[in-house]
Structure 1
């Protein structure tokens, strides 16, 4: 099955009615999925584990179409955890082969990628993957990076704890290189160093299979997301489960927005207090004597933002070079 299937010949009237009703309320723009239950689905249906994983991928393709139909323009999926490397060699090899086949297939569907204008991002510690898979992933990411209609984030070789540690290492390097100061470190800077820095936080997270935990997935990003835990196994997930999760999001939307607004207000206040504290500590500097305290704080904030912009350009440049080098190697070797 294609990553981006062609539209089927019309929807049933009841689906159209349900979508119209849901669209009277807020529709989440970014939905994250923990696609759990492929192995249990295989056991339940007396099939090989590999077949369960293939069925799970087919369900992802179908779910992406449902999301686009209803106006969800960004989807993030937990495709492969770093913890999954601890599974049996046969199963890990199977999952790597599935990734190899599907990303290769995706690059054979360039016309569909362009038609749907989908930007595909693969997030995680990709250096842990076989080199040929890194290369085909890089091809896909580079090819689709300028598409803007919809975004598919595939968290592969990913855990949230590893992502946060990687962001901390980037920040520590920035301080060591003199690009930023210790006082520049903040929640906002941390977010901008995460693998997901190009995306808004998910509005809604859906986990299938009945498990009610996040399993080290988007721990930072889902602080204010609506969580929907669905009993059904992932290959059995239906459009009705998606509708139910969206309705759950709509019921909780006012409370979530109040929490987000409060958190953002607190973050801005803490940043102002930090800027003020930094200015006060430098208040005796001669070059500040001709400015009022308010002007000094504004000037400090301006300089801080300039430092952060330069630092984030450095971080993004390293990531871009990583993908460009892989694409170049792939074209050169033809592997």
Structure 2
């Protein structure tokens, strides 16, 4: 009975929260660090592969939730360059699981009905051939879709991304395709993953599960450059719920409102300063005029 009452209360709260956030600005691009799969499995006395499998199921739900809410771009941190340091068994298991999910994205009618464009960011040369084949197959099948963009970071590192972009630009300069004067922030952004000209845009909101409050070399250029909001939550990734996603968006909206208020306050201070300055000039003019009149009388 107690669980049933809580479930009813939870659903009602989730519904009200969703209505609330839909009345304000929804972030365009959300990025997620899906942390805690292994700790979740350990907590239950299960294998690490069990934790990754449960996390993958939540990932499918999050993609659907983001689409429903109106988010246009979702980037998921599936496998970092640091993850290669894990055991060969775990890495192979992860690649097999990721491959399975890409094949499902390829064949799932929702992918095509909802026009989800799927792209991978990261160093593909480090991935096994069978996974690259599934990635290319899925990317090719969805390349013309524009309603929702799903970016999956595999073998990805933020600094590595910037390094490859700099090398690519240096090569273009060396070949005479670019001049040094053309290099600016916008050009560097265009040369980031996944390919020159179609890079991942600035991030509005980063979510990290599992309790750690760090970004872990994830989209440093796109996140820091846009001063995005960050939401750190305690649940492990397999425990992540729609209400957690809604709460993260509420944090983004609150931060957006605070920034607007701060900008408005600064603007009013400038206006007041200018008004005081103008009054000072008028007082000075009046003083000079009175001085001239006094001189004329005398």
Which band: TM-score by shorter chain? Answer: 0.7 to 0.9
1:229 counterpart residue number:
232
For 1:73 and 1:248, the matched residues in 2 are separated by 18
Match of residue 240, structure 1, among 238, 243, 254 = 243
For 1:125 and 1:90, the matched residues in 2 are separated by 21
For 2:259 and 2:183, the matched residues in 1 are separated by 26
2:219 aligned with 1:206, yes or no? Answer: no
2:253 counterpart residue number:
250
Tell me the secondary structure at the aligned position of residue 231 of structure 1: coil
1:96 counterpart residue number:
95
Question: Normalising by the residue count of structure 1, what TM-score does the alignment of the two structures yield?
Answer: 0.71
Structure 2 unaligned blocks of 5 or more = 1-9, 264-298
Give per-residue Cα distances to partners, 1:205-243, cap 9 Å, x unaligned: 000011111111001111111011111111111111111
Q: 1:254: Cα distance to partner?
A: 3.8
Matches within 5 A, 1:1-335: 14-109=13-108, 111-195=109-193, 197-223=198-224, 224-255=227-258
Q: 1:150: Cα distance to partner?
A: 0.6
Structure 1 unaligned blocks of 5 or more = 1-10, 261-335
Q: 1:100: Cα distance to partner?
A: 2.0
For 2:186 and 2:28, the matched residues in 1 are separated by 21
- The 8 Å contact of residues 35 and 79 in structure 1, kept in 2 or not, is answered as yes
For 1:245 and 1:113, the matched residues in 2 are separated by 25
- The 8 Å contact of residues 29 and 203 in structure 2, kept in 1 or not, is answered as yes
- The 8 Å contact of residues 33 and 207 in structure 1, kept in 2 or not, is answered as yes
Moved more, 12-21 or 150-159: 12-21
Tell me the secondary structure at the aligned position of residue 119 of structure 2: strand
- The 8 Å contact of residues 226 and 256 in structure 1, kept in 2 or not, is answered as no
2:270 counterpart residue number:
none
- The 8 Å contact of residues 121 and 154 in structure 1, kept in 2 or not, is answered as yes
For 1:42 and 1:18, the matched residues in 2 are separated by 30
For 1:259 and 1:149, the matched residues in 2 are separated by 33
- The 8 Å contact of residues 225 and 256 in structure 1, kept in 2 or not, is answered as no
Instruction: Classify 1:178/1:112 alpha carbon distance in 2 versus 1 (closer, same or farther; 3 Å).
Output: same
Instruction: Classify 1:128/1:205 alpha carbon distance in 2 versus 1 (closer, same or farther; 3 Å).
Output: same
Give per-residue Cα distances to partners, 1:131-155, cap 9 Å, x unaligned: 1111110111111011111111000
Moved more, 68-77 or 153-162: 68-77
Q: 1:198: Cα distance to partner?
A: 3.7
For 2:173 and 2:192, the matched residues in 1 are separated by 17
- The 8 Å contact of residues 40 and 233 in structure 1, kept in 2 or not, is answered as yes
For 1:159 and 1:259, the matched residues in 2 are separated by 34
Give per-residue Cα distances to partners, 1:261-315, cap 9 Å, x unaligned: xxxxxxxxxxxxxxxxxxxxxxxxxxxxxxxxxxxxxxxxxxxxxxxxxxxxxxx
